[in-house]
């Protein structure tokens, strides 16, 4: 995890954003998630991410809710990877000695300037943002991208809550595709990712910002 003065950011109290998707993800729930994912094999995702990089050629990529940053450092060869997360334990991991610019940050208060990235993405993160904060988070993602937004999430036609490890109040499926379209984005690619692809039956949508 790098120091904030080494990053190109806005000076607006970014070390500890006032709003957070969930205090539980910053604490025990997030710690347990980080440990649990140590045993997960992410190599099956290689084909998907290489295709994204080759097709869209981003130079600066931000993962919102990056945890240890595995997705950014394993598959983006040409792009400079950035990540934010609310869980400090996850941010302390130094994986493979590959440079990844990570810092403490919330989806509802992303600590970067407008249009700073070529691609901003989430993978199983929007689903954990409470209903009262989801619109703000999605607008923050749009704000910091200059071209592409990628959502890899559990989607449904209407917002509905689902249990997460037997607990409620943590996970919501939503029509993220239509929600982003209403915010002015255009879908340029869409699909469904199964365990064969290294994902847990997630829909994905690549969006492009309008000029």
Total of domains in the chain: 1
Report the CATH number at residue 79: 3.40.50.150
Q: In the prediction, which pLDDT does 90 show?
A: 76
83, β-bridge pairs: 63, 102
1 burial level (CB within 10 Å; 0-12, 13-18, 19+): middle
Region 71-76 average pLDDT: 64
Asked if residue 13 has pLDDT above 80, the reply is no
Asked if residue 31 has pLDDT above 90, the reply is no
pTM score, whole prediction: 0.83
Question: pLDDT per residue over 166-186, tens digit each?
Answer: 878 888 999 999 999 999 999
- The lowest-confidence range among 38-47, 111-120, 154-163 is 38-47
Question: pLDDT per residue over 100-144, tens digit each?
Answer: 677 888 999 999 999 999 999 999 999 999 999 999 999 999 999
The conformation of residue 184, written as its DSSP 8-state character, comes to T
User: Residue 53's domain spans which residues?
Assistant: 4-208
Residue count (the chain):
211
Residue 159: both structure tokens together: 């917002």
- Percent of the chain topping pLDDT 70: 74
Are 107 and 78 contacting, i.e. CB atoms less than 8 angstroms apart? no
């Amino acid at each position: 995890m790098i120091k904030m003065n080494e990053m190109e950011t806005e000076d607006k109290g970014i070390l500890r954003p006032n709003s957070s998707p969930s205090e539980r993800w910053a604490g025990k729930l997030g710690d347990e998630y980080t440990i649990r994912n140590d045993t997960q094999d992410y190599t099956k995702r290689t084909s998907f991410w290489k295709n994204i990089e080759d097709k869209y050629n981003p130079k600066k990529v931000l993962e919102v809710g990056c945890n240890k940053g595995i997705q950014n450092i394993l598959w983006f060869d040409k792009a400079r990877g950035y990540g934010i997360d609310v869980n400090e334990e996850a941010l302390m991991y130094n994986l493979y000695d590959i440079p990844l610019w990570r810092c403490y940050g919330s989806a509802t208060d992303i600590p970067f300037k407008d249009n700073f990235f070529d691609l901003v993405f989430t993978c199983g993160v929007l689903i954990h943002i409470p209903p009262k904060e989801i619109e703000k988070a999605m607008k923050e993602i749009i704000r910091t991208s200059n071209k592409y937004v990628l959502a890899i999430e559990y989607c449904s036609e209407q917002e509905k809550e689902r249990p997460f490890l037997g607990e409620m109040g943590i996970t919501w499926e939503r029509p993220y595709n239509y929600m982003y379209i209403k915010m002015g984005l255009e879908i340029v690619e869409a699909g469904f990712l199964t365990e064969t692809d290294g994902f847990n039956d997630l829909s994905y949508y690549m969006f492009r910002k309008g000029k």
